[in-house]
Amino acid sequence: MPDPIDDLSRFILISVLLAWPLGGAAYLILKRRWERAYDGENESSPEQTIRELEREFSPCRRTIIRTQTEYLPFLVECIREQIDGGLEDMQMFSLLERIEIHRPGEERRAVFHVAAGGRRSDLHLKWRRDAWDRIELHVQGSPEIIRALRRFKRRIPEAAPV
């Protein structure tokens, strides 16, 4: 009569000997499948790559505006006229409030994700306030927004040093 312990030990030995090759084969198959899915099976054409880069990395320009804080709502409204979406009313009020309440001598920043001219881009704002309530605002964004701000900048009085 067969001993149950011998049968169990044989079963465990055969299971271990079969598990290693089966596990290794499964690992290699899954690894190849994952690499193909990660790398992509088809290569994109140069035109597709260029379109993707243009869509994701829009050109940007910079300008500096020096003015009193009383002209900032008009400046933000000029920005909102140029964008298709992204700077909502609550964000605009929050930005103006942040500029109004921060202490002189500190530099603050804000970034808004906007769509201008059919393209998504980031609008970077950096400002510094001095003791005489003047603001130096650095704006970096899409060329459409910066062109409009430069036209607007000619119409507002520049903050003159005291």
Question: What residues does 119 pair with on adjacent strands?
Answer: 116
- Rounded Cα distance between 61 and 80, Å, is 17
Q: What is the per-residue pLDDT across 72-84, written as a single tens digit (0 to 9) for each? A: 888 888 888 888 7
Sheet of 107-116: strand order equals: 61-68, 134-141, 119-129, 107-116
- Rounded Cα distance between 67 and 149, Å, is 13
Q: What is the per-residue pLDDT across 81-123, written as a single tens digit (0 to 9) for each? A: 888 777 788 888 888 888 888 788 888 998 988 887 777 788 8
pTM beyond 0.75, yes or no:
no
